[in-house]
């Protein structure tokens, strides 16, 4: 690592941030946090428009006016959930890309880059974990989100560019345009994995009940994407 690329690197504070630092101290769940988790769950399950502020406050067992008092508006609450979860996901991806860079002298192979891109969100999909609703929320935000959310996704190319730069280094035979398209396709593998689709696939394949199902799914996805990148 004679000349570290700043775009592929991470600042130390990025990697050490605590995702749950926002919670009220002493683990005491304040009204604000109750609203946050209830809203995220309901939004993830039923969609943004179908959930009213009364549904949220009822689920959180707090007063109706709490949302407007603590977050300003329903849309502001939505946006705060979105920005926090997006930052967490980006951080997890950046951390894995950082480790891949360290392990391969700044030139990680295609498979390592794709793994850093795919593994974090798919790991969140583990039904045993409590991150499932967060990734379901983020996937929903991609299509049902407000214009402001989509602007954030669109202007957040700096995060995506770390991966496209790494893939360009790993695939010198490909033009940048080709790399961008195949990266786009790889992202499509992830976004299509909402859990409603899992049922549809279960009808065909016979179920996903294995214990290590998530890791196996990651391997399948990385295999598929890697083949698309290694193609001539």
Partner DNA sequence: CAGGATTTCGAACAGTTGTTCGTCTAAAGA
Partner DNA sequence: TCTTTAGACGAACAACTGTTCGAAATCCTG
Where on the chain is the footprint of its own copies (CB under 8 A)?
Answer: 47-50, 139-140, 143-144, 150, 153-154, 157, 160-161, 164, 176-178, 180-182, 184-185, 187-194, 196-197, 199-201, 203-206, 220-221, 223-228, 230-231
Partner from DNA, its own copies, none binding residue 192, C-beta < 5-8 Å depending on class: its own copies
Q: Is 232 helix (H, G, I), strand (E, B) or coil?
A: coil
Q: What is the DSSP letter of 26?
A: G
Give the phi and the psi of residue 173 in degrees, each rounded to 5: -80, -10
Tokens at 197, concatenated: 């689709």
Partner from its own copies, DNA, none binding residue 67, C-beta < 5-8 Å depending on class: DNA
- The residue assigned the tokens 């045993």 is 128
Alpha-carbon distance of 226 to 220, in angstroms, equals 10
Q: Is 141 helix (H, G, I), strand (E, B) or coil?
A: helix
Partner from its own copies, DNA, none binding residue 225, C-beta < 5-8 Å depending on class: its own copies
73 binds DNA (CB under 7 A): yes
Cβ distance 8 to 97 under 8 Å? yes
Partner from DNA, its own copies, none binding residue 161, C-beta < 5-8 Å depending on class: its own copies
Looking at 4, 17, 75, 142, which residue binds DNA (CB under 7 A)? Answer: 75
For the chain, percent helix, then strand, then coil, each to nearest 5? 70, 0, 30
Site for DNA in 13-42 (CB under 7 A): 30-32
Site residues for DNA per CB under 7 A: 1, 30-32, 51-55, 62-70, 73-75
């Amino acid at each position: 690592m004679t000349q570290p690329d700043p775009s592929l690197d991470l600042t130390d504070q990025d990697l050490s941030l605590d995702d749950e630092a926002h919670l009220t101290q002493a683990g005491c769940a304040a009204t604000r946090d109750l609203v946050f988790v209830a809203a995220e769950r309901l939004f993830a399950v039923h969609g943004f428009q179908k959930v009213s502020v009364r549904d949220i406050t009822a689920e959180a067992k707090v007063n109706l006016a709490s949302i407007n008092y603590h977050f300003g508006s329903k849309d502001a609450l939505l946006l705060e959930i979105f920005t926090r979860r997006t930052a967490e996901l980006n951080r997890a991806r950046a951390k894995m890309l950082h480790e891949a860079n360290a392990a391969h002298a700044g030139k990680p192979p295609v498979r390592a880059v794709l793994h850093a891109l795919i593994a974090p969100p798919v790991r969140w999909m583990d039904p045993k974990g409590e991150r499932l609703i967060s990734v379901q929320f983020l996937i929903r935000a991609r299509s049902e989100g407000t214009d402001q959310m989509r602007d954030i996704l669109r202007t957040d190319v700096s995060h995506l560019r770390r991966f496209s730069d790494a893939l360009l280094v790993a695939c010198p035979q490909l033009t940048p345009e080709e790399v961008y398209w195949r990266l786009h396709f790889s992202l499509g593998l992830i976004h299509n994995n909402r859990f409603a689709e899992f049922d549809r696939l279960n009808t065909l394949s016979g179920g996903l009940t294995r214990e290590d199902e998530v890791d196996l799914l990651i391997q399948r996805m990385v295999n598929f994407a890697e083949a698309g990148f290694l193609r001539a």
